[in-house]
């Protein structure tokens, strides 16, 4: 399986506290725990040519992970269209944390994807809603993070195909933190935690969810659909 981890890679270069947590970038941290004998992982960042998302690279990508925050508008529209096309063709997409406001996620959802937020070093509990789903395999009743950014409802997204996590925060808010969708042939998973100033992606349970999600959103092996003008089907005469 071929996985591509995409990241703006701005905070890590501009903020020493973020660089201390993620010296190789958030993309480097995620790529590090995903890499295995069965999974080939590469990374791409915003400032690379074509944002590292060329036609050739995307055609060789089974699963794309997306982390963005402060530079959503810098992503070129033609690249968004390119990624959108690949998702419809079957490429899996995992959107992480503030990637909810990325152009690609908003285009796929068809809504503003807006929400409430607060950075206040709050405890978060991500409660498992559907314990039978493969993405939550190996996770207990909940994941507890001592410090995270708060996201709160209303989250302006379409009703998820499946809701896997609901978060509770110390301030009292709740949030739909693990949502699955299908667009065309592509599976999509949105996973909320991952603010850049917290070591969330070093947490073994968060890593387990992302690993499970990569396996779940990967393309299915099936016959390619045929579109366009169709000739009448051959009729079969039945003798009596």
**pLDDT value, residue 110:** 98
pLDDT higher than 70, residue 230: yes
Average pLDDT in the 209-223 region?
Answer: 91
Would residue 239 count as lying in a domain? no
Would residue 25 count as lying in a domain? yes
**pLDDT value, residue 226:** 78
**pLDDT value, residue 56:** 97
Sign of dihedral through CA atoms 111, 116, 121, 125? negative
Would residue 21 count as lying in a domain? yes
In the structure, what pLDDT confidence band is assigned to residue 240 with cuts at 50, 70 and 90?
Answer: low
Q: How many domains does the chain have?
A: 1
**pTM attached to this predicted model:** 0.94
- Residue 70's CATH number: 3.40.50.880
**pLDDT value, residue 63:** 98
In the structure, what pLDDT confidence band is assigned to residue 127 with cuts at 50, 70 and 90?
Answer: very high
Pairing between strand 92-96 and 186-191?
A: parallel
- Residue numbers of the domain that contains 102: 2-217
Is 176 strand, coil or helix? Answer: strand
* pLDDT per position as a tens digit, 55-92: 999 999 999 999 999 999 999 999 999 999 999 999 99
Would residue 16 count as lying in a domain? yes
Would residue 19 count as lying in a domain? yes
DSSP state, residue 183? E
Would residue 236 count as lying in a domain? no
**pLDDT value, residue 185:** 96
Contacts of 227 (CB under 8 A, 6+ apart): none
Q: How far apart are CA 10 and CA 15, in angstroms?
A: 8
**pLDDT value, residue 223:** 64
Kindly state the tokens that stand for 9.
Answer: 């890679």
pLDDT higher than 90, residue 232: no
191 or 234, which is more confident:
191
Is 221 strand, coil or helix? Answer: coil
Would residue 233 count as lying in a domain? no
């Amino acid at each position: 399986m071929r996985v591509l981890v995409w990241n703006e890679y701005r905070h890590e270069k501009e903020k020493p506290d973020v660089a201390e947590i993620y010296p190789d970038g958030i993309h480097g941290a995620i790529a590090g725990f995903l890499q295995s004998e069965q999974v080939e992982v590469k990374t791409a960042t915003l400032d690379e040519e074509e944002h590292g998302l060329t036609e050739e690279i995307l055609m060789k990508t089974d699963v794309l992970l997306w982390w963005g925050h402060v530079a959503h508008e810098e992503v070129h529209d033609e690249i968004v269209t390119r990624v959108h096309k690949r998702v419809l063709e079957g490429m899996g997409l995992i959107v992480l944390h503030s990637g909810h406001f990325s152009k690609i996620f908003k285009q796929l959802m068809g809504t503003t994807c807006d929400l409430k937020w607060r950075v206040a070093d709050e405890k978060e509990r991500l409660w498992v809603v559907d314990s039978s789903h493969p993405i939550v395999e190996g996770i207990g009743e909940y994941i507890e993070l001592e410090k995270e950014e708060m996201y709160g409802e209303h989250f302006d997204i379409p009703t998820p195909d499946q809701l896997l996590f609901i978060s509770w925060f110390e301030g009292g808010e709740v949030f739909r933190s693990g949502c699955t969708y299908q667009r065309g042939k592509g599976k999509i998973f949105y996973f909320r935690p991952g603010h850049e100033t917290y070591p969330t992606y070093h947490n073994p349970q968060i890593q387990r969810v992302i690993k499970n999600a990569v396996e779940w959103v990967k393309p299915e092996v099936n016959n390619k659909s045929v579109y366009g003008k169709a000739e009448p089907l051959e009729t079969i005469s039945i003798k009596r």
